[in-house]
Structure 1
Amino acid sequence: MTGRTAMRALITGVGGQDGSYLAERLVAEGLEVHALVHPDEPLPERPGVTLHACDVADTARTRALVRDLAPDELYNLAAISSVARSWSEPDLVARVNGLAVAGLLESAWLAQEASGRPVRFVQASSAEIFGAPCRSPQDESTPIRPVNPYGAAKAYAHHLVGVYRERGLHASGLVLYNHESPRRPVQFVTRKITSTVAAIAQGRADVLRLGNLAARRDWGWAPDYVDAMVRSARAGHADDYVVATGESHSVRDLVAVAFTHVGIDDWERYVEVDQALVRPTDAAELVGDSSRIRAVLSWRPTATFHDVVTRLVDADLAT
């Protein structure tokens, strides 16, 4: 493709919550936006985005596409994002979340070499790479020690980003802590909670079944984390960044805020712990120290934990 008049971006994982927010932002900024969509998935509605049917794990096809497009910015958001699924299909998760990233990084490098134009690569990493952290909060220097196949695949990809950065690619790894929005699928615990709470409040359900209520996470607002991705792509120097609010809350806290928001204070009687939903291993507490990205890229979260939960509940009440 020749004769470009605008910056060009390529997004993988455009069907997810982050991909949708990112695509909307880049289109609004006037970029020429392209995106990969798995051939077996229905094409999402992404106005202003040129969609390409391609499996991110198909290295040959993605490499040809990346070399043809020679994007100025490449955002890899594609992943199997379920930790639970990584226990049932660890080999598939390793291919998509790990090996596919190796292919994309090499493709970006080859495109840069062929075109003579820098390719700025952003990898959506995960706090799950820290797994059972030796300290809290975690920052960019925290040892990587995943405790599940999802985290292990993400850790491999995260290390590769550093390898290619040393090679000369503007590659940044964003260690994203949990971030939510109404676009998050309902199989995720946050949306499961808020959608079920909304259903209970409206008389459409009578019980919320959950696993480990004591698990603690650092929950933020998805559009804020997309903003971090764009800032890192356009920074003068590539680096790794922890993207987090710095506040830790338990699943129990989330449940309490959601129920209280709909006027139910005696929420315990609606909640059942199902041992089948408890993961084989679950990081007890993940909370991030985002001092580096705040200092270097002037990034700040705009929504509090309470804001995030109540926004999700309101969205579920409206559906």
Structure 2
Amino acid sequence: MDKALLEESLQKLRQIGVKEIAKQTKISTSRLQDILDLQFEHTQRVHLVGFVQILEREYKLDLSGVLKAYDDYHNNHSAQPEQVEKSVQVQDLSLDTQKQRYDAIDERKKQANSKQKFYITLVSVVIVILLYLVYQNVASKYASNAKDSTQDSATEIQAGEESIQAENMAQGAPQDSSAESSTPESISVDSGIDSTPDAQSQKIPDTKDSAASPAQSSTLESTSASPDTESRADNTMAITTDIMLWFDIIDLDTNRRKYQGVTSDTYSIKTDNHRWLLAFGHSNFSLTMNGSPFTFPKSNYPLYFIYEPDNGFKKIDPQTYKRLAEQVR
């Protein structure tokens, strides 16, 4: 080995310091100082080989020249041939001090670290994929439940409208019979007219006018009352929201619950000129009657209202709502 290269390696060790090297390698300072000074009077070659291996592995240096210097030193200062033979026999130990051996060890460590990183990355990717699949499954179930609740509310609305139409038809039948019964009464009045020609000629116009006027007045009254009745009966209440909203609707006139559930769309119902009791889980929605909005303070707390045909919507406290809701069958 070139002496200049050996001296460069020893100089690096001197810069680190004997105490620091001894602390890291557990080699005594006296042995380290002998190696740095190339003084081998009190050092055996077998021990020196171990010290050199430790220093090469720790600081990645080529110190094979130290062993050559050791051999040269003992060759010059030894007079016994047996010692020379022993030094030659131990010369093969210098092969263990080559840097290639430690470079191979470092390379294997790098490969092991690379494989470990690869497996960690693979496991992380698998975990992320599983989490994504679980999220998709939960989201699909939630969307399906929301769709089913919307369909159920639509079915209930349709059933409510059909029942309302049936009630309107049932209420309309007696009115028609009463209208028809007025005709015989007018005929019976006409049958009481005086039979004399003069009286007949004088009274016929009067009886016709008197008979016509009640019929016309009843017709006018029914005509004038019909739009108001229809408008009151056709009052449509609508609840519109774009997030999940729990609400409860009770018909106070029949003491029956019309709907109780959750929706994230529009729910509408005809009031049938009844009084209604309403409860909502929060205030993120709009409430309209025949398209006219009803304004109320917004909050995250439950809200309670009562609707009356003559007074419209009115906010009530929880105690009033509880008292009125207890009557529901």
Higher relative contact order (CA 8 A, sep 6+): 1
TM-score by length of 1: 0.17
| Structure that is richer in helix per residue | 2
